[in-house]
């Protein structure tokens, strides 16, 4: 019940069927976007695809923020490692 | 991770030594038995191996090597069943020729001659048959092998899925390749694959049309005898194992080798060559490219000192330009294939029971 | 692949792992339950546990909608599949699930028309394309998948497709969670919440759980960094003495979820007073059936199903695995009588069942990192 993959909307079908074409790394599938009718979906948006239906529109800003937070942690850790190496002691998670 | 410290071994599904018959446990054959994975192995070992028992068959390599007037002759057979018959990148005919040429190549043999047997369903279009046959002729020509004998049968409508083809082939084993066998992998050997994995399986899956997915993926069906020739030129007897990865994918082939050789294979996920479109399809369906069929990829296990030379020679050949080293043979845990994940962890790459199936979970 | 590869980054995992370790109280053993089979799959496929400190254990819960279907219900589905004229359309996950007389694959081998579909809409299309067949769609899944079945039903009704019906086995996430917490035979410290269920139902439904049972919940995405970050959030809450719901998967999940998705479920389905869960027994209001207005599309009404309650094989300990009471290898038949090739229970069949995941991905003790292959 969990397999959902982000895909980019490449075409919105205006045949009343509430479908769009979505692309996942070059694989294309017709996706039902009825669940996102309040989202003002546009070509170029990213959606979460599960069994041929779009369940959610991806919030690219939130994604960036999540990654930024994790990047911050990663940077802080490497800075610590450097500082420790320069002072000759070992950092947490090492040796 | 806590857990039992299992050191591995061929496991209950591995090939059993000693020829003791294992109970099959099924009363009807199901589709999993044709997938190349554990179910197929179980069928072969329980039903065929015991009945046909002989030392030439026992190693269960891609082909058998029989001695003819003192020379080692490789002999192999393969039956081709594919739906749809025509798919992007080729058709049944290409598979039928290339598959057997490749099994011979995996024995280190250049193909000398092929046979072709047809089981055709009543109602099958002659135009389609002609297309298949034309593809076979072209593929045989490209591989440099004649189709010298054949057979044709027609079955009633509804009994044949269009057309089935069986090809058998013989070839002289190159003297540099006489020790090549699934059991010859040694710790330290490098594992090379001759190009991106999963192309054929995904191309055919999409071509069936039942999944509603399209992508620019074509089958990788190709004859690999030319590639094997340049490989043997460059690395000779340092080549320990040759296997063409077909149904069940690279993972299945490597599991067979690990079990037969009593070693472990460690793969690096970041080194595995997968086309983005194939990766996209696999993510959509929840499949792992390691298990998806290829039809024109050779898995090579080569001694470390010759790995660079082998890789170079393969990359210089038209069907091997995408060759990469994907892993290494280590002593333990024997019989298992493991993978260092891109995330920094590790996992076991077991053999599947049946075909890889799309999942929703 | 965008929004995927970035969340598989190893360097970020290493840093996150250090922060998790720093937050752990020395000597304390943490048991965090992940309730989604997709998370089980991610954990094993990427070897995520390699990054966890020894005191943090991830326990697998009943979040595999295939695993929790009781045998009797599988038998019901197979009896429908075996009915002449029926085409049973199901997800690939269902194909090898064992009933008491074999699986869908076995039924197919003996003549039943079973076809794997990727989407419930594809099953409806099958019915349209083959008017001579009775197409039955085996609907499984939590609230993630229910909206898709719901939209398919709405379309079937709008089109008036006469030869299509749904065998509904949708289940909901909160009741089994409560059942596990109420059973109190597993000492859990917190939860990794199911990201795609939450894309539908939002984060709000977990608030009573966090409050009443004082357990932190971190709703997580399905890439390995998502799960690891969720572990970090839970451990951090525990260190700070909090028990709240946090949303790690904010790029997909909103606090209120997808109201339209919830609407279509309510328009087509209603909660069943009782539903049997493998290993958890009968849980009230934990599953969905079709509403009376959709009775014509209800396979349970169209076909006579045995409806027999079949006890699990005695050797089977799936229930204890699903509740997190035992780990897969602690099951007495794990790897011996019960293997992926000859599964006794659903935990071994479903690719995201804890046992199958462990068998396929984690069987060897890989605590020590494997030496890098020299490629």
At B217, which CATH number?
A: 3.90.650.10
Q: Which of B138, B173, B208 is the last residue of a domain?
A: B173
Interface of A with C (CB under 8 A): 1-6, 8, 24-25, 32, 34-38, 46, 48, 50-53, 55-56, 58-60, 62-63, 65-67, 70-71, 73-74, 76-78, 91-93
pLDDT value of position B47: 87
Q: Which C residues, 89 through 148, put their C-beta within 8 Å of a C-beta on chain A?
A: 91, 118-122, 140-142, 144-145, 147-148
Q: Which residues form the domain of B90?
A: 63-173
| Residue with the larger pLDDT of the pair C185 and A93 | C185
Domain annotation covers residue B213 = yes
* Residue B201 shares a structural domain with residue B338: yes
Q: Strand pairing of B109-121 and B163-173?
A: antiparallel
User: What is the C-alpha separation between C9 and C1, in angstroms, rounded?
Assistant: 12
Question: Can you tell me the distance from the alpha carbon of C202 to that of C194, in angstroms, rounded to the nearest whole number?
Answer: 10
Residue B226 lies in a domain: yes
Do both B240 and B309 map to the same domain?
A: yes
All residues of chain C having their beta carbon less than 8 Å from the beta carbon of residue A63 are 3, 6, 251
List of residues 6+ apart from C86 with CB closer than 8 A? C80, C112, C113, C133, C134, C135, C136, C303
Within a domain: B5: no
In a domain, B52, yes or no: no
Q: Name residues of chain B where pLDDT drops below 50.
A: 1-21
* Rounded Cα distance, C146 and C341, in Å: 30
Domains of chain C, residue spans: 71-172+257-302
Which tokens sit at B328?
A: 């290494």
Average of per-residue pLDDT across C326-353: 84
Q: Which of B35-44, C11-20, C261-270 has the lowest average pLDDT?
A: B35-44
In a domain, B344, yes or no: yes
Nearest to A51 among C4, C15, C119 (CB): C119
Q: Which CATH architecture has domain C71-172+257-302?
A: 3-Layer(aba) Sandwich (3.40)
What is the C-alpha to C-alpha distance for residues B193 and A14, in angstroms, rounded to an integer?
45
pLDDT at position A5:
94
A5-57 has which CATH code? 2.30.30.140
Question: Are B156 and B220 contained in the same domain?
Answer: no
- Say yes or no: B287 and B339 in one domain: yes
Mean predicted confidence (pLDDT) in C316-341: 87
Helices (H), C304-367: 318-322, 346-349, 354-357
Stated length of chain B? 361
Under the banding of pLDDT at 50, 70 and 90, the label for residue A92 is low
Q: Across residues C346-352, what is the average pLDDT? A: 76
> Is residue B206 a part of any domain in this protein?
yes
Q: Spell out the domain ranges in chain A.
A: 5-57, 59-88
Q: Could you give the angle at the alpha carbon of C323 between the alpha carbons of C318 and C329, nearest 5°?
A: 50
Cα B330 from chain centroid?
A: 22
Same domain, residue pair B126 and B261 = no
pLDDT score for C102: 87
C-alpha distances in angstroms, C219 versus C24, C196, C233, C259, C265?
20, 9, 10, 18, 22
Q: Tell me, letter by letter, the H, E, C secondary structure of B168-200.
A: EEEEEECHHHCCCCCCCCCCCCEEEECCCCCHH
For residue B215, list chain A residues with Cβ-Cβ distance below 8 A.
Answer: 26-28
Note the pLDDT of residue A91: 54
Residue B215 located in a structural domain: yes
pLDDT at A90: 60
Helices C224-239 + C10-23 axis angle, to 10: 20
Query: Would you state the pLDDT for residue C269?
Result: 98
Bigger pLDDT: A1 vs C66: C66
**Number of domains composing chain B:** 2
Cα dihedral sign for A14, A19, A23, A27? negative
Task: Assess whether B164 and B196 both reside in one domain.
Answer: no
- The nearest CA of chain C is from the CA of B70 a distance in Å of 39
Q: Which helix (H) or strand (E) holds A70?
A: helix A60-87
Residues B206 and B325 grouped into a single domain: yes
Closest Cα to residue C20, out of B102, A77, B329? A77
């Amino acid at each position: 019940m969990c397999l959902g993959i982000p895909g980019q909307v490449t075409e919105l079908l205006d045949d009343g069927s509430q479908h769009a074409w979505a692309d996942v790394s070059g694989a294309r599938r017709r996706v039902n976007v009825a669940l996102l009718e309040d989202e003002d979906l546009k070509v170029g948006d990213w959606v979460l695809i599960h069994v041929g239906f779009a369940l959610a529109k991806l919030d690219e800003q939130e994604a960036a923020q999540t990654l930024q937070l994790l990047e911050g942690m990663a940077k802080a850790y490497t800075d610590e490692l450097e500082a420790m190496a320069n002072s000759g002691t070992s950092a947490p998670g090492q040796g | 991770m806590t857990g039992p410290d299992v050191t591995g071994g061929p496991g209950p599904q591995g090939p059993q030594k000693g020829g003791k018959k294992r109970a099959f446990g099924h009363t009807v054959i199901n589709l999993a038995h044709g997938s190349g994975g554990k179910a197929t192995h179980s069928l072969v070992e329980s039903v065929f191996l015991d009945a046909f028992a002989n030392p030439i068959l026992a190693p269960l390599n891609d082909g058998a090597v029989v001695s003819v007037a003192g020379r080692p002759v490789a002999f192999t057979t393969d039956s081709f069943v594919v739906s749809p018959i025509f798919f992007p990148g080729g058709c049944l005919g290409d598979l039928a020729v290339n598959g057997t040429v490749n099994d011979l190549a995996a024995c280190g043999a250049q193909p000398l001659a092929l046979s072709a047997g047809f089981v055709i369903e009543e109602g099958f279009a002659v135009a389609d048959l002609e297309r298949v046959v034309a593809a076979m002729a072209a593929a045989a020509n490209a591989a440099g092998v004649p189709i010298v004998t054949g057979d044709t049968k027609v079955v009633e409508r509804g009994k044949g899925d269009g057309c089935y083809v069986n090809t058998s082939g013989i070839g002289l084993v190159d003297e540099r390749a006489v020790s090549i066998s699934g059991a010859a992998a040694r710790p330290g050997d490098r594992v090379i694959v001759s190009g991106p994995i999963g192309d054929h399986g995904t191309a055919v899956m999409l071509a069936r049309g039942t999944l509603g997915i399209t992508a620019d993926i074509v089958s990788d069906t190709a004859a690999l005898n030319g590639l094997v020739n340049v490989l043997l030129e460059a690395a000779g007897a340092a080549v320990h194992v040759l296997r063409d990865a077909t149904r069940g994918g690279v993972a299945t082939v490597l599991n067979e080798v690990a079990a037969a050789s009593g070693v472990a294979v460690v793969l690096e996920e970041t080194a595995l060559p997968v086309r983005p479109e194939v990766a996209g399809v696999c993510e959509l369906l929840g499949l792992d490219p390691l298990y998806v069929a290829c039809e024109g990829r050779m898995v090579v296990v080569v001694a470390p000192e010759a790995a660079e030379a082998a890789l170079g020679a393969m990359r210089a050949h038209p069907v091997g330009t995408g060759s990469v080293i994907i892993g290494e043979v280590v002593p333990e845990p024997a019989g298992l294939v493991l993978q260092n994940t891109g995330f920094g962890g590790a996992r076991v790459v077991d053999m599947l029971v049946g075909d890889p199936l799309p999942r929703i979970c | 692949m965008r929004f995927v590869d970035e969340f598989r980054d190893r360097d970020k995992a290493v840093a996150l792992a250090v922060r998790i370790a720093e937050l752990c109280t020395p000597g304390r053993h943490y048991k965090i339950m992940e309730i989604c089979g997709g998370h089980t799959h991610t954990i094993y496929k990427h070897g995520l546990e390699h990054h966890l400190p020894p005191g943090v254990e991830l326990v697998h819960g009943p979040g595999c909608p295939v695993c929790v279907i009781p045998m009797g219900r599988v038998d019901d589905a197979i009896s429908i599949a075996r009915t002449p004229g029926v085409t049973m359309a199901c997800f690939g996950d269902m194909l090898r699930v064992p009933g008491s007389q074999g699986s869908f694959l076995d039924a197919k081998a003996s003549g039943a028309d079973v076809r794997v579909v990727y989407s419930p809409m594809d099953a409806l299309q099958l019915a349209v394309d083959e008017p001579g067949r009775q197409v039955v769609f085996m609907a499984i899944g939590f609230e993630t998948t229910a909206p898709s079945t719901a939209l398919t039903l709405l379309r079937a009704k709008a089109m008036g497709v006469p030869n299509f019906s749904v065998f509904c086995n949708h289940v909901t996430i909160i009741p089994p969670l409560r059942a596990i917490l109420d059973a109190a035979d597993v000492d859990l410290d917190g939860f990794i919440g199911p990201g795609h269920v939450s894309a539908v139902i939002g984060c709000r439904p977990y608030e009573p759980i966090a409050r009443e049972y004082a357990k932190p919940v971190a709703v997580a995405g399905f890439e390995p960094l998502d799960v690891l970050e969720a572990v970090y959030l839970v451990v951090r809450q525990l260190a700070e003495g909090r028990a709240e719901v946090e949303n790690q998967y904010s790029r997909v999940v909103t606090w209120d979820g997808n109201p339209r998705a919830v609407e279509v479920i309510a328009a087509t389905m209603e909660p069943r007073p009782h539903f049997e869960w493998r290993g958890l027994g009968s849980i009230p209001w934990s599953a969905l059936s079709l509403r009376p207005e959709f009775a014509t599309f209800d396979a349970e009404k169209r076909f006579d199903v045995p409806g027999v309650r079949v006890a699990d094989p005695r050797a089977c300990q799936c229930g204890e695995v699903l509740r997190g009471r035992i780990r897969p290898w602690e099951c007495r038949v794990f790897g011996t009588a019960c293997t992926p090739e000859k599964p006794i229970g659903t935990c071994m069949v479903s690719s995201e069942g804890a046992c199958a995941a462990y068998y396929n991905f984690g069987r060897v003790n890989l605590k020590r990192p494997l030496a890098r292959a020299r490629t």
